[in-house]
Chain A
Amino acid sequence: MKIVSIAILGKKNNPLYVYVTNEENKRKFEYIIHTSLDFFEEKVPLISPISKKSTQNQNDMYLGHLFPTEDYKVYGYLTNTNYKLVCIIDDSEIKEQEMKTLLNNLHTILVDAICNPFYITDEPITSKIFHLKILDLIGKK
């Protein structure tokens, strides 16, 4: 599995953090990430976070394979607070459990970043520590 992009989208679908391994194709990946929002909406119908909490357990936050592109596979994860985590990997075979663990860890990192009192909600995450943690997660550090 080769991770090519990691993205975190806010409650209102706005991009909070986008990391792309290949900067040349950044625009292409941004479009893919933006497109993934359609599949988030399709997989999780528009329900309020509260009602969702009651019906879904933590495991349901992992939405699995959202959609394929010609060369990549896009995986999604929706937090209880409606943050969207997107992971794009190359078109190789992957174990579902691996991806689930990865996105769970990413969620933990995100929670740490949001808990930072200096972070303004729904603004892009610019924390260097957060970025280093992401690099560590995907093995780029």
Chain B
Amino acid sequence: MSSGRGKREAENGRCNINVVQLEGLALMKIIKHCHEEGAGNTEVAQGVLLGLVVDERLEITNCFPFPRHADDVDEEDYQLEMMRHLRKVNVDHLSVGWYQSTQLGNFITTQLLESQFSYQTSIEESVVLIYDPIKTARGFLSIKAYRLTPEAINIVQERDYTPEALKKGRLGFETLFQEIRLVIKNSHLVNTLLTELYEFMPGSEGKQFLDLGTMSTLDRQLRCLMENVDDLSQEANKFNNFQRQNAKQLQDKHKFMQKRAAENAQRQARGEPPLPEEDINKQFKPIAPLPRLDAMITSGQIYNYCKQVSQFCSQSLGKLYVAKALQQEKK
């Protein structure tokens, strides 16, 4: 998703975004779009965020979704059209990022990396908002803002994911993305509407997060976790193979050199000219170092899952303790 238009002059030095401020309207639009789009698909719902940057705050005031199944609609054109129309109705039309839905936190992928990279290089301050509709349906609003760290940007720019480059750039799976604090802000007008809506809203529906049943979510989360761990172990295997091959090659090289040296010594003893020094490297082609991108991404994903599972378990434990306390009261 490259945005060719609107290349702002990149500020010299880093841009510091400490907090992302989201309008209630944008949040509800994201929720609605992801809800209508998602519902059981594995595809993600995506869209663009619009807003402004004020000091160290990135204010997101509006958003619009991307068409999903329309392959004949050119993405850039659609975006431009949409922004033009929005400008006419006096809505903020400067793009400051994009959003994506996820299922139980499986959003750390290479595509995300690439997309966020292209966004961040063209618009310095862009963020990606990750919204989890499944978790929100269970009762906990789950929306987070991420940016690529400067180290990550450097590495992705070079497209060089060998271990040496990663070590030099100090990039690990934890330093790929940085999470930014997100706050929700509403104008006074919206607040008045909210007070009105409060009367209207069915009071009993917002309480489903007090449900004690944990097994279904836990089951799914653990399944995803297991798949990722399997992927990571495959990567580890690949790496081990690479190591072994490398070691073997090194050994072979040594042997060859020793043989050479011995032969040369013999020849010298006999007074014949030594054999020409062949280029060893041509004979033993160095094996290309393994790119660590997939492993890093999978590790990051696993880390994320673990964090989520811990959070989920902690709140379930809390609920169980509450139930226990109530039970004891009854006694």
Q: Do A and B bind each other?
A: no
- On B, residues with C-beta under 8 Å from A are none
- On A, residues with C-beta under 8 Å from B are none
